[in-house]
Amino acid sequence: MADSLVALRDRREQVIARLTDAYAADLYDVDELDRRLDLAHGARTVAELDALVADLGIAPAATTALVPAGERAIDDPSRPARKKLRVIMSSVERRSRWIVPSQLDVRVFWGNATLDFRDASLGPGVTTLAVSVWMSNLELILPPGLPVDVDVSSFMGNVEERHRVPADPDPARPMLRVVGGVWLGNLEISTRLPGESGRDARKRERKERKQRRALAEGASKALPPGNG
């Protein structure tokens, strides 16, 4: 019998929370986290989801799920359907707890903007972020568990493409879709843990790269000699 959509949704949320907890406990690096999150979002059965955490043991009672099924995935009646954010020769930041409209149009001209979604209130279904970046920098900071789809064009600019979308999107769960264009500017999308600064994230990533190199060198030295 096929798994019900409700059972699949609930188990997916539990697995994402467990994967995030394991990453926070340094059980694996960010590349492995992204790989498992991609598989979790694309899983079609509970068995596939269970296999992703089979090597992690029993989940702890507390969780640090970054996109839980609770308050961040409900339809807040005060949430606006659409808002505009204009940044012209200036700087704007959105951090901590803030309500994200169903569609947010962001235009940055000769400026800098940072939108941190780690503690933001996102509605169920797709939240659309329409960006227009002219000779500017726009940084998006995402929690690991948030599905995201990026479809942004660029002209002499830089865009970090990222696609972390489940095969069967759940309309009751939040998902971020980024569309628009970048001209002579930069759109940076990064994934950080709760409370982690950009400096801490870079230090962690450098440490993980060193660990990967050390593991690769150790594995190379451990290889048996050829039989000739």
Question: Given this model, what pLDDT does residue 197 score?
Answer: 77
The token pair at 224 is: 């048996």
Q: Residue 180's beta-bridge partner residues?
A: 131, 152
Handedness of CA 14, 12, 159, 208 (dihedral sign): positive
Contacts of 115 (CB under 8 A, 6+ apart): 93, 94, 106, 129, 138, 139, 140, 141
Please report the pLDDT score of residue 74 as a whole number: 52
C-beta of residue 103 within 8 angstroms of C-beta of residue 127: yes
Structure tokens at 58: 């029993």
| pLDDT of amino acid 128 | 96
Q: Walk along the chain (228 residues) and give the pLDDT tens digit of each residue.
A: 455 666 777 788 788 878 877 877 777 777 788 788 888 888 888 888 888 888 886 444 333 333 433 334 556 777 888 999 999 999 999 988 899 999 999 999 999 999 999 889 898 889 999 999 999 999 999 887 788 889 999 898 888 766 677 766 777 788 999 999 999 999 999 888 877 777 777 777 777 677 667 666 666 665 555 554
Widest CA span in the chain: 73
* Structure tokens belonging to residue 74: 């409900």
pLDDT of residue 4: 67
Q: Cα(94)–Cα(92) distance, rounded to whole angstroms?
A: 7
